[in-house]
Amino acid sequence: METAAVIILAVGILAALTAVVILRKQNRDYRKKCIKAAQRIIREEYLDGSIMKKDETKKLSRPRKTMVVLRIKGSREKGFVFDPEQEIRIGRSLESSDLCLPDPSVSSHNSRIFLYQGQLCIQDMDSANGTAVWSRGRGKQTLWGETGFLYDRSRIWVGNTCILIRVFRCSVNEE
């Protein structure tokens, strides 16, 4: 009887370790996808800059940039990588939202995320239900036409949709 219990315990531990390894690999793969998307954005900006400034091409550098991933909670594949220097609009409207959420409790023009003096910010656009923001060490607050700060691992609630925020630095050459 004791041998059976030991075998069951060993199988349980092995299953748990396997699950941890699989989850870590999935997270690594997702991070690689996000980095590749960020690199494409940075390359495109670099190329646009070099086309616009032919005489200054040698002066252009390829710096590390702050990039942001918005990931809809509960959906492993629904993520959006963007450069916060370019504002992102969140809402229900297909025409005017960069991130369109088919949630009836989301306003057409709900909120926007942008970079202000190097700080990642979110502004509620006078939406009907406000925009809730949670950040570690800062708690949860609801914005009603106001602006708040976002940090790595912040969460925002737009209507009934929870969006996880990841902030990272990336360069074109990064692996």
Give the residues across from 114 on adjacent strands. Answer: 121
Per the CB < 8 A criterion, the answer to whether 155 and 74 are in contact is: no
Name the pTM for this structure: 0.69
Higher pLDDT, 105 or 31: 105
Separation between Cα atoms, residue 124 and residue 99, nearest integer Å: 14
Question: Looking at this protein, which amino acid is placed at residue 102?
Answer: P
CA distances from residue 125 to 89, 133, 145, 168 in whole angstroms, order as listed: 10, 14, 5, 26
**pLDDT tens string 87-129:** 999 999 989 999 999 889 999 999 999 999 989 999 999 999 9
Of 30-34, 67-71, 107-111, 132-136, the one with minimum mean pLDDT is 30-34
Angle at alpha carbon of residue 97, lines to 45 and 95, rounded to 5°: 105
* Domain, as residue range, for 39: 1-175
CATH number assigned to the domain comprising residue 99 = 2.60.200.20
As for how many domains the chain has, the answer is 1
Per the CB < 8 A criterion, the answer to whether 97 and 91 are in contact is: yes
- Which residues have C-beta within 8 Å of that of residue 31, sequence separation ≥ 6? none
Strands (E), the chain: 65-72, 79-82, 88-91, 99-100, 111-116, 119-124, 131-135, 139-143, 147-149, 155-158, 161-170
pLDDT (average), residues 24-34: 76
- Which residues have C-beta within 8 Å of that of residue 142, sequence separation ≥ 6? 130, 131, 132, 133
